[in-house]
Every structure is written in structure tokens, then in C-alpha cells.
């Protein structure tokens, strides 16, 4: 089946950058991210995705510590450095950041591009001790129109909820970028295939989406992270990864705009979006 001419756009490369942030070292983390983004750009990436809370680290000891590290989006230090880099290199960047909004804190992600700041997402589903520090996201599930096409954002535990990807797909997203800090899951630690990978492959297939997950590595204040970053095509198959559980990585894969819409058609008479029965399940 051919793709309608009106949805054809040039292919582009998405890169998922897996690395180990150091808790509290914002300047050093931003420098490490910049070096890896420059490398990805030199290899042809038009979009770079980085981990959750990539600027600050993850395991906060207190709300006071978080308050010292978090900053506004888009006016804070981390956001401004990422925006400037996106403009300099002419690429799009998605990165998890600790956001401060007055006296409230959000586990957020920024999206910026060659023309500057595009938008942000605030994590909806907070994991474990995140509930001690962050507010649940209050911006919904926006889809951003970009020069690369419609892009949705999610963060880590948001991926455990099928509604996340369904809503983004129904709103027109073709690619969902997922900054994440995956941790071992009880009953699955050490499994050949992490549950996170299975869930995101299933979500990509059932919603005909590209999904790019950038995880971190290392152990921070006793909390291990599992790496295993992936880029998934709209048929649910891996385009890149999984990365190792312990090493730095830059995964790269091509995204073909229009293929996501085409992939919804799974047989002569079946479309995974149009075959939904909201009259039954809402």
C-alpha cells in the first residue's frame, strides 16, 4: 500500500543517549550530555532523546536538595543550555529535567528545536519516592507539531499505562519520546528481556507508533538502573537496541514519517485505531 503524498516527509534519524548522570552535578551532567549530543549530531541525528532527570540525578535525599537543583522550564539554566544547543546544531532535543514552578516541583521533559523552545511535559504517574518530592503532572498528554512531525512525550512509569500511548496516538503522534530511569522490577530483575522493553514494544505495535526510550545507567545512592534503551518501530519491532545494562550508548534509528499511519492497517479489513470499540469500553 502506498503512502498518501500529503503525509510524506523526509526520513530522519533519532538518537537515544544512554549515560550516567551524577546526583547534584548539574553543570557536569549538562557538559556530558552536550558532548554526546554533538557526537550524535555528527553521526546524522536530527533528534536526540536523553534520560529522565538527566540534569540533576534521580535519588534525592530531601526536598531541600531538590530545591537547590531544580529550575524553571524554559527559563532555567538546564533548559536554556539545551535550547541554545538545539539552535546551534539545528536539531531537536528531548530531555528529562527537574522543573521548579514556584514552590512546586515536577519531573518534566523539555522539547526544543532549531527555532528554540517548543514545549514541555510533566510526568503523570509518579514512581515510589518521587511522590515525596514531585507533584503529579498537570499538563495532560500534549502532542507537539514540529518540523519532524507530531511528537508526544512520556516519562518512565507513564509507559506502564496503556492509556498514555493510546491517547498520544489518538491525538496524532507519530513518535513518542520517553526519557526514563528504569529500575529493576520485582519478579523480572535479571530477565533476558526487561519488562520495560516488552511494554514499549507492545505499545508501539498496538498504537502504530515509533517509541524512543532513553534510559540511564549506574547505581545512585544504592538504587541501580538497568540501561537497555531502545528505539521501536510502529510494528513493535526493535529498530535499535536494547543497549547494554551497564554501558554508555548512543542508539540511532531512522524514522519514516507516514509509516506510522500506514502501520495501523494490519490486514485488508483491519485498522488498529479504527477498529476500536469505545462504545463498549469508553
Beta strands in the chain (DSSP E): 12-18, 45-49, 92-101, 104-113, 116-122, 143-146, 149-153, 175-179, 210-214, 219-220, 223-224, 230-232, 238-240, 249-255, 265-267, 270-271
d(CA 76, CA 280): 46
Q: What CA–CA distances, in Å, run from 142 to 41, 145, 171? A: 26, 10, 8
Examine the residue annotation and report whether 163 is marked as an active-site residue of this protein.
no
Examine the residue annotation and report whether 135 is marked as an active-site residue of this protein.
no
Strands 143-146 and 104-113: unpaired
| Active-site residue, selected from the candidate residues 20, 95, 123, 174 | 123
d(CA 223, CA 99): 22
| Active-site residue, selected from the candidate residues 16, 156, 177, 213 | 156
Examine the residue annotation and report whether 120 is marked as an active-site residue of this protein.
no
SS3 61: coil
SS3 150: strand
Which residue is it, cell 519516592? Answer: 129
| Active-site residue, selected from the candidate residues 52, 99, 130, 174 | 52
d(CA 220, CA 223): 5
Catalogue the active-site residues: 52, 123, 156
Amino acid at each position: 500500500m502506498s503512502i498518501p503524498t500529503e503525509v510524506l516527509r523526509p526520513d530522519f534519524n533519532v538518537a537515544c543517549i544512554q549515560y550516567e548522570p551524577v546526583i547534584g552535578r548539574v553543570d557536569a551532567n549538562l557538559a556530558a550530555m552536550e558532548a554526546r549530543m554533538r557526537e550524535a549530531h555528527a553521526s546524522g541525528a536530527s533528534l536526540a532523546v536523553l534520560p529522565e532527570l538527566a540534569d540533576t540525578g534521580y535519588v534525592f535525599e530531601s526536598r531541600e536538595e531538590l530545591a537547590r537543583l531544580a529550575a524553571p522550564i524554559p527559563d532555567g539554566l538546564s533548559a536554556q543550555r539545551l535550547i541554545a544547543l538545539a539552535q546551534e546544531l539545528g536539531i531537536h532535543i528531548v530531555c528529562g529535567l527537574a522543573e521548579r514552578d514556584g514552590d512546586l516541583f515536577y519531573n518534566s521533559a523539555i522539547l526544543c528545536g532549531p527555532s528554540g523552545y517548543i514545549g514541555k511535559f510533566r510526568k503523570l504517574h509518579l514512581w515510589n519516592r518521587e511522590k515525596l518530592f514531585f507533584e503529579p503532572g498537570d499538563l495532560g498528554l500534549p502532542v507537539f507539531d514540529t518540523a519532524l512531525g507530531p511528537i508526544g512525550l512520556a516519562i518512565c512509569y507513564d509507559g506502564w499505562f496503556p492509556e498514555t500511548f493510546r491517547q498520544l496516538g489518538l491525538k496524532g503522534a507519530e513518535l513518542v519520546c520517553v526519557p526514563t530511569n528504569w529500575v529493576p522490577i520485582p519478579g523480572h530483575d535479571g530477565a533476558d528481556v526487561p519488562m520495560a522493553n516488552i511494554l514499549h514494544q507492545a505499545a508501539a505495535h498496538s498504537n502504530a507508533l515509533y517509541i524512543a526510550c532513553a534510559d540511564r545507567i549506574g547505581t545512585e545512592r544504592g538504587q541501580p538502573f538497568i540501561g537497555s534503551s531502545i528505539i521501536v518501530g510502529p510494528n513493535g519491532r526493535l529498530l535499535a537496541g536494547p543497549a547494554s545494562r551497564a554501558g554508555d550508548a548512543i542508539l540511532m534509528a531512522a524514522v519514516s514519517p507516514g509509516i506510522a499511519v500506514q502501520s495501523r492497517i494490519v490486514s485488508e479489513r483491519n485498522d488498529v485505531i479504527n477498529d476500536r470499540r469505545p462504545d463498549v469500553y469508553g
